[in-house]
Structure formats: structure tokens, C-alpha cells
Amino acid sequence: MNAIEIRNLTKNFGEKQALQGLNMTVPQGSIYGFIGENGSGKSTTEKIICGLIHPSGGSIKLYGKDYTDQDVRAKVGVLIESPGCFPNMTVWNNLMIQASNLNLKNPQEEIRKMLILVRMEGSAGNKYKNCSLGMKQRIGIAMALLGNPKLLVLDEPINGLDADGMRIMREVLVDIAKSGATIVISSHILGELEKIATHYGIIRGGKMIAEMTAEELEKNCRTFVAIGITNKDMAKMVLGRKYARVEEDENGYIRIYDKTTPEEIVSYLYSEGLVINEIRKDKIGLEEYYIDLMKGKGV
Amino acid sequence: MENSTKLKFEQPSFKERIKGMLGVDFYRLFHTPLFYIFLAIAAIIPAMVSCFTMMPDQNGNVMEPLYSNVWQIIASTESLYVIKSIADYANMNMVFIFGGIMVSIFIGHDYKSGYVKQLFTTHAKKEDYMISKTLTCAFAMVCMCATYFVGGTIGGLFAGYKTDVNFGSLLVSIFGKMVMSLGWASLYTFINVVFRKYFGISIALSFFFGTGILIIGVASIVEALSLPTAFLNIFLYGASVNACLSSNIFAFLTCIIVSVAWAVIYIIVGSFVLNKSDVY
């Protein structure tokens, strides 16, 4: 059974079609990286999954049940944009409020566990308004985790975090995933997402344009040989005679995407009278894969 | 990665859900300065109104007293659907004006802080929200009625008004207005749910309903059409003006029936609006 199954989801805001027949499948236990440009429909999809807004059409099943079932809702933890906390209350009291709404049997014990999990055990007495952005996001995660949810929906949880904040957040999410929960996480910081996601969904213009596992992404992401050379124009011309796709990247390296080896390139350029300063074999990451997909390069 | 664990879902009962939500709302009410500020306002305003009308101006002239009796600060002497003087309304009905503003701020904060987003992604139902808010705000208004009574009585005694009264009618008018707090709270909760994205409209509408300005407009139309006006007291103004210093136990029963009817209607319609619209 999948944690989320969405079929032909549509959402209109007046004249604007935010979602246009979106399909999405999130397997149980996965960390699903939900990627898309601003305004592509990520947040709208997540808000619909969480029951905050109504779809115009389509079906959504959570663990095989309709997403509006109140019993299944109790097993969904949510962090949409920022946590819904009262600024003048302490972290502890804000968590107690959520625990009370969730009718937790032993709220204090659960809150303590969550605060330890999000590395906030020493900040329970702080007022929410005095917490840093990173702390607030972790409070949001702790709040979403109360009641032992089986599905976590996190909208941009690492936006605005510093390097240390991102590392902590990454560790927290991996710990959560180990407990068997399914996580749907949207983010613009694809490098971070790549470190934890097991599945990906790429949305564009309200439609899912690709869904894949991390292994499939690994296969899809082409390898290339990058060279550093002084006479770039000459090198590009010479390489272009033999290889189909030769491009200069933003760092000034020339990339050759054909099936080749560094040794073959070195010897070919040497035979043409060109000497290479630097050479490496590499693979495009999620970020480049995504950018290429958006540009329609068909990686 | 496929995990075939069989998940068990449990639906908390209505009693459990409403208990949790009421716990949160009352906790918030008691831990927000807003509540205590409005309690103080409800006590100070009647005391000030009674005292100021007895104070001499710079020429030493004392204006005509607004009241002739301490208890007129609590309720008007007779049941009126349209006020004839400021004194007809400057009684415990003012609590419903303060209460409207307090409810708007209290519910507005739910949306401003994002609390509703956190709440409605759990098993909480929209009906639970309407009921919990109505009951909490009704309690706040009852408390405001109590502080109004204390402030008004002290102010009236200090101003030297007469104290003779039909004690039974006084009790009916005090408890009648307290009972009507439920109806008013449900109306204000409904207004704030409908106009949740427009805080200014919520406050303005609460004020217009609370002051009776809208009722005066409706009353003039009704009169112009030569229709009976008695129902205005009951259905439009929530029987609050029925609870007066000449009322009997039937006025109190009317308050109970109207208040509960308002609450049921506004909770049902408010829940319907919330269920049909996007929450956040």
C-alpha cells in the first residue's frame, strides 16, 4: 500500500489552474523529495493533502483511505511554510497545545521525546518569538511529529537555515525515516534533498513531469568528463568534431557527455596539439538534472 | 523501501476532541492579556459612565443624570427594540459590544499565528472548532457581565443613585444577559469565521451588531412596512433587551431559548462555511 496516491488532481483559484491533473505516488517509508519552481503547485498539492484547501477534482488516498477521513488525518504530521505557534507562548506550551488538540495520552513524555529528537531539549522554556529561524523550523517538525504520525508533509523546512541548521535538520529527518514514517519534503535546496531523499517527484505547471527513485535518478544522471584547459575555444572546436555534446559549464570547465574516458580525451587532445590542465570524470547531480529537465534538455 | 506494515487508525470520540480543544481555548483565554483587559474595560466603563454624568462642569452645573436608579446601569427599565436614549443601551448590553471586539481579536489570532493550519491538519473537525470557540467566548462574555455588574454597581452607588428595585427582575435581567452571551458568542464566531481573511470587516460587523445599529435599520424598515416589531427583540436583538428591570421569568426563558437557537444556527452555518471553503 502506498502512503499517498493522487490521481488527476486539479485545483483552480478563480481563472488560474494551479494543478492540472497531477498524479503522485509516494511509497510507504520513503523520503519523497517534491521539487518544482515557485508557483509550480507544490504548496497547493501539500495543502490539499493536509486538508487545508479543497481540490477542484481528482482523488487523493492516504494509506488506501480517502484523505478526508478524520482517523487517517490523525496520523498525518504537517509543517506548511512555518509552524502555527503563538509567539508569546513558550516552546513547551505551544507543543502542549498541539498535544492537547491531538488528545495525546501522555503529552509531557511525548513532547520531551520530540524535543530531544529535534535537539531542542534545552530550549523548551524559551518564548517562541525569541527562537531563531532554525529553531522555529525544528519546533515545527517536533509539532508535526507529535502523536506518532505515519506521514509527514514538510513544505520548505530547510529554507533560511544556516549550514549547521541544515545538518541538524537532515539528521532529524533521517532519524524520523528510520522509525518507519513516510516523509514528503519540498525544497529548493536540491543539494540537501539529494542527501536524504529516496524518491523524487518533479512538478511543473501543476503537472507531475517525472517521478523516480533515487536509484533511477542515479542511472538517469549522465556521467561526463570535465576538462580544464587554457585554449577553450580551440578545445571546444576540436572536441566538437569527435563528440556529439560538448558544453562549457558555469565554472569554465568543458564537459564532454559522450561515453568516453579521461584517458581517451587526453590522448585525443594531445594528438591535436592541445594540453589539458585538469581532468575529472563526474556525474550531474539532482540540481543539474532538474535544471536540464526544466530547460527541456531531456537528460 | 516498500513497507507493508498494517496501520491501525483510531478516531477520537467527539467528547475527547472537544475536551482537548476546549482545554486549549480556555488555556489561551486565561493566558492572554486580552481577556483581562476586556474584563477591566467591562468594569471601568459603567463605573465611569455613572460617575461622569453626576460630575459638575466648569460652571458648576450638573447635567441631567443619565440614570435615576443604580440598576438602570445593569438593564433598562422596560423592554425596547429600538433605543430612545443612550441610557436605554448604556447598560449591560455594552458587554456585547466589547465581547464582539474581543472575539474578533481572539479568533483573528488563530489565523494570524497559523494555529488553524496546525489544528485543521489533525483530526479536528470544523464543528468542534465552532463549538469550542463559541463556548470559550461565551464564558469570557459571562465573566465580562460579572465585572460589568461589579463596576456598574460600585459606580452607581458612588454616584448616589437610588437603589430600589424588583429583586427578581434584576436577577432575571442579569442572568438573562449572561445566558444571551452564548448566542452573541456564536454570532461573533460565525462572523469571524466567514470573514476570517478580513479582520477589519469582522471587527466592524461585530461592532455594528453589538451596538444594535443594524437592528435600528431593520426596525425602521419593519415599521415602514407596518409589520409587527415584537419579533425584533427576540430574533434580531437576541432577547438581550427583553431582560430588563420589569421582566419576569418568561423573559429569562426566552433568553435561554433564543440563545440556544442562535448558537445552534450559527454553529451549523459556520461549520458549513468552514467545511466548504479553503481554511488557510
CATH of the domain at A102: 3.40.50.300
Residues A120 and A163 reside in one and the same domain: yes
CA B220 to chain centre: 24
Please report the residues numbered 17 through 36 in chain B whose beta carbons come closer than 8 angstroms to any beta carbon of chain A. Answer: 17, 19-21, 23-24, 27-28, 31
Structural domain contains residue B2: no
pLDDT in tens, A10-19: 999 988 999 9
Q: How much is the mean pLDDT over chain A?
A: 87
Beta bridge partners of residue A35, listed in sequence order = A202
Structural domain contains residue B60: no
| Residue B165 Cα distances to B73, B75, B87, B96, B135, angstroms | 12, 11, 17, 24, 32
Q: How far is the C-alpha of B231 from the C-alpha of B237, rounded, in Å? A: 9
Q: Is A64 on the interface with B (CB under 8 A)?
A: no
CB-based contacts of A241: which residues, under 8 Å, 6+ apart?
A: none
Domain boundary among A151, A181, A212: A212
φ, ψ for residue A189, nearest 5 deg: -90, 85
Residues A122 and A233 reside in one and the same domain: no
Q: How far is the C-alpha of A57 from the C-alpha of A12, rounded, in Å? A: 9
Q: How far is the C-alpha of B58 from the C-alpha of B67, rounded, in Å? A: 22
Which pLDDT belongs to residue B62?
66
Structural domain contains residue A22: yes
Residues A196 and A264 reside in one and the same domain: no
φ, ψ for residue A246, nearest 5 deg: -125, 125
Q: Are A46 and A53 in contact (CB under 8 A)?
A: no
Q: Are B64 and B87 in contact (CB under 8 A)?
A: no
| Residue B243 Cα distances to A13, A251, B81, B238, angstroms | 47, 81, 12, 10
CB contact under 8 A, A52 and B279: yes
Residues A182 and A129 reside in one and the same domain: yes
The CATH number for A228's domain is: 3.30.70.100
Residues A205 and A226 reside in one and the same domain: no
Domain span at residue A56 reads 2-212
| Residue B257 Cα distances to B92, B182, B228, angstroms | 20, 11, 20
Which pLDDT belongs to residue A23?
95
Which pLDDT belongs to residue A81?
83
Is A49 a residue whose pLDDT tops 60?
Answer: yes
pLDDT in tens, A55-95: 999 999 999 999 888 778 878 899 988 899 999 999 999 99
Is B82 a residue whose pLDDT tops 80?
Answer: no
Which pLDDT belongs to residue B69?
82
CA atoms within 13 A on the CB side of A153: 26
Contact residues on chain A for B277, CB-CB shorter than 8 A? 54
pLDDT above 70 as % of chain B: 82
Residues A203 and A231 reside in one and the same domain: no
Residues A15 and A119 reside in one and the same domain: yes
Q: List b or e across A91-123, with b for residues whose CB sees 16 or more CB atoms inside 10 angstroms.
A: bbbbbbbbbbbbbbeebeebbebbbebbbbeeb
Residue of B nearest to A72 (CA): B9
Q: How would residue B223 be classed by pLDDT, with cut points 50, 70 and 90?
A: confident
Residue linked to cell 561526463: A224
Structural domain contains residue A251: yes
Domain span at residue B30 reads 15-52+71-276
3-state SS class at B122: coil
- How many domains are there within chain A? 2
Structural domain contains residue B10: no
B37 CA to chain A: closest CA distance, Å?
Answer: 16
Is B265 a residue whose pLDDT tops 90?
Answer: yes
pTM for the model stands at 0.81
CB contact under 8 A, A28 and B21: no
Which pLDDT belongs to residue B10?
67
Structural domain contains residue A232: yes
Is B79 a residue whose pLDDT tops 70?
Answer: no
Structural domain contains residue A70: yes
Structural domain contains residue B30: yes
Residue linked to cell 487508525: B9
- How many domains are there within chain B? 1
Residues A14 and A113 reside in one and the same domain: yes
Residues A143 and A78 reside in one and the same domain: yes
Residue with more model confidence, B186 or B13: B186
Structural domain contains residue B61: no
Q: How far is the C-alpha of A164 from the C-alpha of A256, rounded, in Å? A: 35
Structural domain contains residue A294: no
Q: How would residue B80 be classed by pLDDT, with cut points 50, 70 and 90?
A: low
pLDDT in tens, A220-247: 666 788 899 988 889 998 998 888 888 8
Is B251 a residue whose pLDDT tops 80?
Answer: yes
CB contact under 8 A, A47 and B1: no
CB contact under 8 A, B125 and A70: yes
Residue of B nearest to A215 (CA): B1
Is A8 a residue whose pLDDT tops 90?
Answer: yes
Residues A185 and A54 reside in one and the same domain: yes
A202 CA to chain B: closest CA distance, Å?
Answer: 20
Q: How far is the C-alpha of A163 from the C-alpha of A173, rounded, in Å? A: 15
Structural domain contains residue B208: yes
Structural domain contains residue B230: yes
Structural domain contains residue B81: yes
Residues A66 and A174 reside in one and the same domain: yes
Residues A29 and A169 reside in one and the same domain: yes
Residue linked to cell 509552524: A83
Which pLDDT belongs to residue B145?
95
Q: How would residue B2 be classed by pLDDT, with cut points 50, 70 and 90?
A: very low
Of B166, B176, B146, B170, which Cα lies nearest the Cα of B252? B176
